[in-house]
Amino acid sequence: MVKADGYGHGAVEVSRAALAAGATELGVATVDEALALRAAGITAPVIAWLHTPSTDFASAIATDVEVVVSTATQLTAVIAAAHRQGRTATVGVKVDTGLARSGVSVREWPEVCALLTDDAVELRTVMCHLARGDEPGHPLNAAQAAGLDAHVADLRRAGLTPRRVHIANSAAALTDRSLCRDVVRTGIALYGRSPVPALGDFGLNPAMTLTAEVAMIKRIAAGQGVSYNHTWTAPRDTVVAVLACGYADGVPRALSNRLTVHIDGRRFASVGRICMDQLVVDLGHDGGGVTEGDRAVLFGGAGVSAGDWAEAAGTIDYEILTGIGGRTVRRYVVPSDSMTP
């Protein structure tokens, strides 16, 4: 899964690394995300399953992107676009087996099955998504899998045999093989984060390390308030560093006065409000040996994790990772124990 710009890691680069490591196909949410992969020269199978009335199905068909539909209206639009081009569209069907989000409803299922017999489309995938996949053993997981299998059986009785059936996300792939079908959709685990933190890290290594450059260092006197509204006041004469990173780059403002960073292996606390473009850390009375131009590790490596940020901000690490952006520059490195970046 490389949707949302590869969970904030860069979809094109992640796609290339994943395919080199053995992934057989790629998944994104929107057709535009799929087209960006095609524009970058990626020719592997790509599926896209989140569509609006303005989605450009013609471009998807022209670039051999598999369109996974959730409604009869969407499938009708794909068929019409395929007829206009004189081409066969590769399609998939997402069925709603209990998440009550996108996916073909029980009411629309007979109509979708009938439309799939049109010569302008070729069925490749049938899929659904788990509502409680991060709760291993929950009875809804097995019920949803049974529902998916029943939909596949319906299609086979109609003479339609999908080439790919899948339901398992990262959590299911790592905790319950009974939920795995032809392929699994590795999402958050691909980026080294645990899909079920209560069960540990599954041996996964987080891929992203977020750093920021020390823009300036200054001495302040005891009693001086720092940043907007002076939510922190220096209890003593001290030295602070201004980091060139803020909430516009994905650092949650909710972490104000709660964030810690590592500079040259030493831990320092952020102080005052996190701003749009910058944040401040307290280096102590001697400045901690930090100089302008040093890089502070905000999360990753041996320090604070994206999960720590998520817990402190009252969210999940998915939101933290996909929120990193703004002026952030990504640099890709090859781990010392791997030939794959």
Taking only the tens place, the pLDDT of each residue in 109-148 is 999 999 999 999 999 999 999 999 999 999 999 999 999 9
Shared-domain flag, residues 7 and 137: yes
Alpha-carbon Rg for the chain, nearest whole angstrom, is 24
Shared-domain flag, residues 128 and 154: yes
Instruction: Say yes or no to pLDDT of 271 above 50.
Output: yes
Q: Tell me what pLDDT residue 341 has.
A: 38
CATH number at 118 reads: 3.20.20.10
Instruction: Let me know if residue 330 belongs to a domain.
Output: no
Shared-domain flag, residues 296 and 214: yes
Nearest to 169 by CA among 144, 145, 195, 142: 195
Range of the domain at 132: 3-199
3 is catalytic: yes
Instruction: Let me know if residue 276 belongs to a domain.
Output: yes
Nearest to 320 by CA among 303, 340, 334, 304: 304
Per annotation, catalytic residue among 7, 94, 191, 228: 228
User: How many domains does the structure of the chain reveal?
Assistant: 2
Instruction: Say yes or no to pLDDT of 87 above 80.
Output: yes
Q: Tell me what pLDDT residue 339 has.
A: 42
For 175-193, what is the mean pLDDT?
Answer: 97
Shared-domain flag, residues 121 and 225: no
- The pLDDT mean for the chain works out to 96
228 is catalytic: yes
Per annotation, catalytic residue among 3, 7, 94, 318: 3
CATH number at 272 reads: 2.40.37.10
Instruction: Let me know if residue 333 belongs to a domain.
Output: no
Shared-domain flag, residues 135 and 221: no
Shared-domain flag, residues 131 and 267: no
Instruction: Let me know if residue 339 belongs to a domain.
Output: no
How much helix, strand and coil, in percent to the nearest 5, is found in the chain? Answer: 35, 20, 45
Shared-domain flag, residues 57 and 155: yes
Shared-domain flag, residues 7 and 145: yes
CB 265 within 8 A of CB 245: no
Shared-domain flag, residues 46 and 188: yes
Nearest to 59 by CA among 25, 31, 27, 94: 31
Instruction: Let me know if residue 73 belongs to a domain.
Output: yes
Shared-domain flag, residues 219 and 169: no
Shared-domain flag, residues 193 and 257: no
Shared-domain flag, residues 109 and 255: no
One-letter-per-residue 3-state SS of 165-191:
EECCCHHHHHHCHHHCCCCCCCCHHHH
Instruction: Let me know if residue 336 belongs to a domain.
Output: no
Q: Tell me what pLDDT residue 340 has.
A: 41
Instruction: Let me know if residue 240 belongs to a domain.
Output: yes
- Kindly report the pTM of this predicted structure: 0.93
Q: Tell me what pLDDT residue 301 has.
A: 78
Q: At which residue do the structure tokens 């929120």 appear?
A: 323
Instruction: Let me know if residue 328 belongs to a domain.
Output: no
Retrieve residue 187's tokens: 């999402």
